[in-house]
Structure 1
Amino acid sequence: MQLITLLLISTLGIPVVQAQTEGLDKLSNPLVKTAVKAMQDNDRDTWMKVFSAKAVISDDGKERDFIQWSDSEIFGRLRAYIVLGKSRGYFKRIDKEENKGTSVYGYFHTDRWGEFNTYMHFKIENNQIIRLDVGQIKQRGG
């Protein structure tokens, strides 16, 4: 019954609790900040608006379909969606930015893959994000 209730709530579009993120206020590029905040707030509409209709995504070096990736890796509405192959993803902590605010580094959470250090590199043209490269930051040594 609980699983059915959770799926029904998500189908109706009831928002999930927003992620609290240390460092979000320090992002300096307005477009990147809007995109990251939309991801944190589980706001798919705003996320899609800041990206070009022809946006490209690469995840750990492998190009993926942008809309499918966004829906499966970022905007899974509830944990129950893991059963359906979806998950929720967001930064738990933003550690730093580089490249005039277009590269963001931090500690990322995803229901499907767990938690890890990650980067997001945003490429911007004509006030839209045209490319997003994301990936796990590998630890040196060991």
Structure 2
Amino acid sequence: MIATAELTDPTVRAFVAAVNKHDKNAFDALLAPGATMSDDGSDRDLAEWTDREIFTTRGHMDVVEEADSGRSLVVDYRNDTWGSMRTRWEFTVDGGKVARFETGQA
């Protein structure tokens, strides 16, 4: 596992920390205006998805590996709904904010 503090990209590092601390305010502050996301290749409503998959279900990211200067992660992700699964996360960062992230099973 890669410790959150050791992740290369500072915005992605803050994203993982916000998820793991269940800090919705910090998470929301990291998103660019109009940020988007997809899950398993399908665009989703970002607010609804993150509420359901992260914040009300105690989502947690254990980073296994990173690539693309820290903007591509392989993560052991777990929450109270789905349990644990290996996932991939790809981030588009613009001006220190997450403009888009894509996730899905790895």
Instruction: Give the TM-score normalised by structure 2.
Output: 0.93
2:9 corresponds to 1:29: yes
For the pair shown, the structure with the greater C-alpha radius of gyration is 1
> Partner residue of 2:82?
113
Determine the C-alpha separation between the residues in 2 that align with 1:53 and 1:74: 20
1:54 to 34, 39, 56: 34
Output the CA distance in 2 between the equivalents of 1:128 and 1:25. 18
Matched with 1:67 is: 47
Query: Runs of 5+ in structure 2 lacking a partner?
Result: none
CA deviations 1:30-77 (Å, max 9, x no partner) are 11100110000000000011111201110011110111111111001x
Structure with the larger strand share? 2
Q: Does 1:88 align with 2:68?
A: no
Aligned pairs, number: 106
Give a deviation string over 1:61-101, Cα, whole Å, max 9, x none: 1110111111111001xxxxxxxxxx22111x211111001
Q: Distance in 1 between matches of 2:95 and 2:6?
A: 23
Return 5+ residue gaps in structure 1 as ranges.
1-20, 77-86, 138-142
- Which structure has more relative contact order (CA 8 Å, sep 6+)? It is 2
In the alignment, residue 59 of structure 2 is paired with which amino acid?
Answer: G
1:100 aligns with 2:66: no
1:1-20 equivalences under 5 Å are none
Match of 2:104 in 1: 135
Structure 1 CA distance for aligned equivalents of residues 75 and 6 of structure 2: 12
Pair 64,98 (structure 1): closer, same or farther in 2 beyond 3 Å: same
Give secondary structure in 2 for the equivalent of 1:88. Answer: coil
Aligned-residue CA RMSD (Å): 1.3
